[in-house]
Amino acid sequence: MARKFLYIFTVLIVIVIAGAFAYAIWGTELIKLAMIPRAAFIAEPRQPAAAYRRAEMWLARPDKPGNAALWLPPGYTPATDTRAAVFFIHPTSFLNRSRWNAPLDDAEANARAELFLRGQASAFNAVGAIWAPRYRQATFGAFLTTQDNAAKALDLAYGDVAAAFDAFVAQAGDRPIILAGHSQGALHLLRLLREKIAGTPLQKRIVAAYVVGWPVSRSVDLPKLGLPECRSADQAGCIQSWESFAEPAEPSLVLDTYNASRGSDGTPRRGTPMICTNPLTGTPDATAPATANLGTLVPSADLSSATIVAGQVPARCDSRGLLLIGDPPKLGGYVLPGNNYHVYDYSLFWANVRADAARRLAVFAK
């Protein structure tokens, strides 16, 4: 299982190694040519919530023993506390340009998604039972274009996530809820907060929402999401978000996209402040030394195992709302152009995220 987990650092970023080289020489146009589908968008019916009563529609669910979200690095033992219900939305694992949305039975995309669960969702398995749905995710190339097909693909993907969430609420009973996602999963989580949680009774059951790897505007997103930003480490019912860059950081691709987009209230994000939670402190706009890092998931040189190494990576939020982690850490080198450690947003701070979730659940329980 450990070997499969580390496979993520090679398979998942076919585009990172080759793409980073191509980006440096030919720019983003070559990457777009390689990744954006040329096929027509295929409209498909939305999944009803009833579909997610079936175990095969979930990558992780409490009645699926041994699922990927239960993975733990050496030195950690399975927790017995399942007071909370965790809804986790995995990031993009479908890299195929032959179609705009992944089929639910795509073996390669599902295998990558399970690897994401081991490296990301596993941080939450100490505080609750984890539900993580399969969904017809938009392909990677949908994030490289403004074509209408990309918006349609993302809307189809969200429809599955929304149906899965409705089923999750029914299955989770009255437990407190932790929401988490990364990248495309975080984008869908933003919409879920706006459409399914804000202003509803569910809002009072949210322990925390980890909207990681996707920018969140304090002024044009947050007011529509039903929860405040996490302002202290012992606060419950709040939202966290960060995007990790080593230094020197070149975030123009991220910032240009952010500035060209619209927030949850429909107004432009350009010039608005971005949420930056420092996962080492659990507070916004903070600086923390590497000694505050309880543990980073670090792969071995031969990619045969993963271990927790404490005190390796610092973090500080800069004036742009980005999370800077100092000199590039040695995690295998699979970084996006511009020293963007997007792939590692959770694994850089795995043990701190684990502790943060437990602390906020304890506060919520009081």
Mean pLDDT (the chain, rounded): 89
Dump pLDDT digits (tens) for 112-128.
Answer: 999 899 999 999 999 99
Mean pLDDT for 58-70 is 96
Dump pLDDT digits (tens) for 302-324.
Answer: 545 689 999 999 999 999 999 99
Query: What is the DSSP code string of 329-353?
Result: P-S-S--BTTTB-GGGTTGGGHHHH
CB pairs under 8 A, 24+ apart, for 252-259? 252/338, 253/28, 253/337, 253/338, 253/340, 254/215, 254/322, 254/338, 254/340, 255/320, 258/215, 258/217
Domain count for the chain, please give it: 1
Integer Cα distance of 202 and 366 in angstroms? 18
Q: What is the pLDDT of residue 253?
A: 83
Cβ atoms within 10 A of the Cβ of 274, count?
A: 21
% of the chain residues with pLDDT over 90: 75
% of the chain residues with pLDDT over 70: 88
With H, G, I as helix, E, B as strand and everything else as coil, classify residue 85. Answer: strand
Tell me which residue range forms the domain holding 119.
Answer: 2-365
Tell me if 187 sits within 8 A of 193, measured CB to CB.
Answer: no
Residue 228 has pLDDT above 90, yes or no: yes
Q: What is the pLDDT of residue 11?
A: 42
| Tokens matching residue 350 | 């795995």
76 Cβ contact partners less than 8 Å away, ≥ 6 residues apart: 308
Dump pLDDT digits (tens) for 65-117.
Answer: 999 999 999 999 988 777 999 999 999 999 888 899 999 999 999 999 998 99
| Tokens matching residue 53 | 């009563």
Higher pLDDT, 12 or 196: 196
Cβ atoms within 10 A of the Cβ of 301, count?
A: 7
Residue 299 has pLDDT above 60, yes or no: yes
Residue 333 has pLDDT above 80, yes or no: no
Dump pLDDT digits (tens) for 38-55.
Answer: 888 888 999 999 999 999
Query: What is the DSSP code string of 233-299?
Result: TT--SEEE---EE-SS---HHHHHHHHHSB-TTSSB-TTPPBP-EETTTTEET-EE-GGG---EEEE
Query: By mean pLDDT, which of 1-10, 71-80, 183-192, 274-283 is the weakest?
Result: 1-10
pLDDT band at 1 (very low <50, low <70, confident <90, very high): very low
Mean pLDDT for 200-208 is 97
Residue 257 has pLDDT above 90, yes or no: no
| Residues comprising the chain, all counted | 366
Residue 9 has pLDDT above 80, yes or no: no
Q: What is the pLDDT of residue 302?
A: 59
